[in-house]
Structure 1
C-alpha cells in the first residue's frame, strides 16, 4: 500500500524523549489557537523503556493502551503485525517499528496521537500507521500511504473532537530525523482547512537523568494533556460552537 515511501536511516537514539511543543489552530467556524510545552517518547516497540522504581512510574508504555490492547498476544508489535496483515502488508521479523507515544505517568495516560513507522532493515518505510484516541475511551488506526516527501492524505473516519463529525480528510506531514521529530495533521473539508495540529520536538536520549529533568519540567504530563483538552473544549463550547452527534465507534478496525 505504501508507494514511493522515504528511506529513514538517520534515526535518533532510542529510546528518546522528544521534547518540544504541541500546537492547534482552528480556523472555522470559531478561530482558536494555542501552543503548549510537552514531551513524548520515541521508542522501538521491541525495546520499550524498562526503568526501575520510582522512574518506572513515569515511563511505562503498555500494550493495553494501544491498538487491540494486546488481547491476542505479542504486545504492541503483535497487534500491529495483525493490523497490517489484514491490510495485505507483511511486517517481517527483522523489520523495526519506531513508535511516537505518551507513556503512563503515575498510572495515567492519554495519547491523542500515536505514530508507528515500520522500517525495513535498510531503512525503507514499509508502512506508517496513525493511531488516534478520543476522550470517550475509543481509538482508531489509519494506514497511511506516505510519499517521498513524508506526506499522506486519508479520509477522516473517527470522531475525535465533539465539535467535528467524521467528514473531511486529513493531510499529514511527517518528519523523523536524528535531530527533529515533527508530525502535522490538518483537517480539510470541502476544500477548506478546518484546523491544523502540530507536534514538534528535539529527541534526547532517555537516560535516567534526562527522564528526571524532563518530568520535573513538565509536571504530570499526561494528566495535563487530558485537562487541557477539556479546558479548550469548554472554551469552544462557551463560544457556542455546535456539538456534533457521536456514534459509538467499533474497535474491530484495530485488528
Structure 2
C-alpha cells in the first residue's frame, strides 16, 4: 500500500483487502468468471507488530503469515531478501515493502500470486514483485520495474517474458503485462497475457483497503469461510470447464521457450 492520504492511517502495518478477481480467456473458447476474495497487505518491516491472539507471524493462529510461503521459501526474513534483490537490480526502492497475499487460514494457504510493492523513501512505487505459485507446487518470481527504474504510475505497463508454467491450458511462451492502480484506499492489479497469436488472458484484482483488525478479519472470513481453500477448488473447477470446452491441454511440463530478462517495462 502506498502511504495513505490520511495521516492517521500511516500507523497501520496491516490492511485488510476485500474485493473481486475477474478472469477472462479470449480463445479458442471464450471463458470468464468473477469471484469474491479477501487478502491482507502488510508492511514487511513491521510484521512483528501484527502478532496477536488471532493473527500470527511464523506461528499458528486463525489468520497467519509464514515466511516460508514467500520469496526464498526457506523461512528467512522477507524484507532483507527483497532488498538484496532490489540492490542487485539497481532499483532505487529504499522505502517500505508491502506484501499483498491471502493469509493462512487455520493453517491452510494457497496463493496463485502474491504481490510485493517496493517503494522509495518519497513514497513512489519503484518495483513490483509477482510471486507466483502453481498447483504443481512450484514457484517463480518476476521482479518488474519501469524503464530506467522510474516511478511506477497508473499508466505504467510492466512487461515480462513468461518463463514459468502456471496453467496446463497455456504454453510457456509469450509475455505478461502488469498494471498497478492505487487511488486512496482502492488498489487494483491488472495482468494481461499475450502469446504468439496475441491477447489470450485478462485478469484483474480490484480491492478496497481498510485497517486490519480482528473484527474486520472475522467478518471477511464469515462472508467467505473457505477463502484460501476455495481458490484451489475454483482453479480445478474452471480447469474442468475449459476441458469440457475442448481447450487444448498442454500437460504439466509443456515445451518452454528461452527466457528473457524479466526487468522489462513499457510506459
TM over 0.5: yes
SS at 2:65 equivalent:
coil
Aligned equivalents of 1:104, 1:197: Cα separation in 2: 23
Deviations 1:51-110 (A, max 9, x none): 314886332111100111145x3x111321233334344654xx2101111110111111
Q: C-alpha distance in 1, partners of 2:111/2:42? A: 15
Q: TM-score, normalised by structure 2?
A: 0.82
CA displacement, residues 139-158 of structure 1 (integer Å, 9 cap, x when unaligned): 11111123432421111111
- With structure 1 as the length reference, what TM-score do the two structures score? 0.85
Give distance in 2, aligned partners of 1:168 and 1:123: 32
Aligned to 1:19: 18
Match of 2:178 in 1: 172
How far apart in 2 are the matches of 1:24 and 1:126? 26
Task: Tell me the C-alpha RMSD between the 2 structures.
Answer: 2.5
Give yes or no for contact 2:126–2:145 (8 Å, CA) kept in 1: no
The 5 Å alignment of 1:1-255 reads 8-10=2-4, 13-48=12-47, 49-53=50-54, 57-70=61-74, 73=76, 75-89=77-91, 92=94, 95-146=95-146, 147-148=152-153, 149-190=155-196, 192-247=198-253
Q: Which has the higher contact order (CA 8 A, sep 6+)?
A: 1
* C-alpha distance after superposition, 1:101-149 (max 9, x if no partner): 1110111111111111111121122322111111111111111123432
Q: Which residue of 1 aligns with 2:265?
A: none
- Note if contact 2:112-2:133 (Cα within 8 Å) is conserved in structure 1: yes
Unpaired stretches in structure 2, ≥5 consecutive residues: 147-151, 262-267
Shift of the alpha carbon at 1:50? 1.5
Deviates more, 1:147-156 or 1:30-39: 147-156
User: Does the 8 Å contact 1:61/1:104 carry over to 2?
Assistant: yes
Extract unaligned runs of 5+ from structure 1. Answer: 1-7
- Number of paired residues? 240
Residue-by-residue CA offset, 1:206-249 (whole Å, 9 max, x unaligned): 11111111111111210111111111111111222222144499
- Aligned equivalents of 2:218, 2:251: Cα separation in 1: 42
Deviations 1:11-68 (Å, cap 9, x if unpaired)? 6654111101011100111211000111111110122332314886332111100111
CA distance in 1, matches of 2:93, 2:45: 13
Contact 1:58 1:103 in 2 (8 A): no
Structure 1 CA distance for aligned equivalents of residues 55 and 144 of structure 2: 37
CA contact under 8 A between 2:55 and 2:63: conserved in structure 1? no
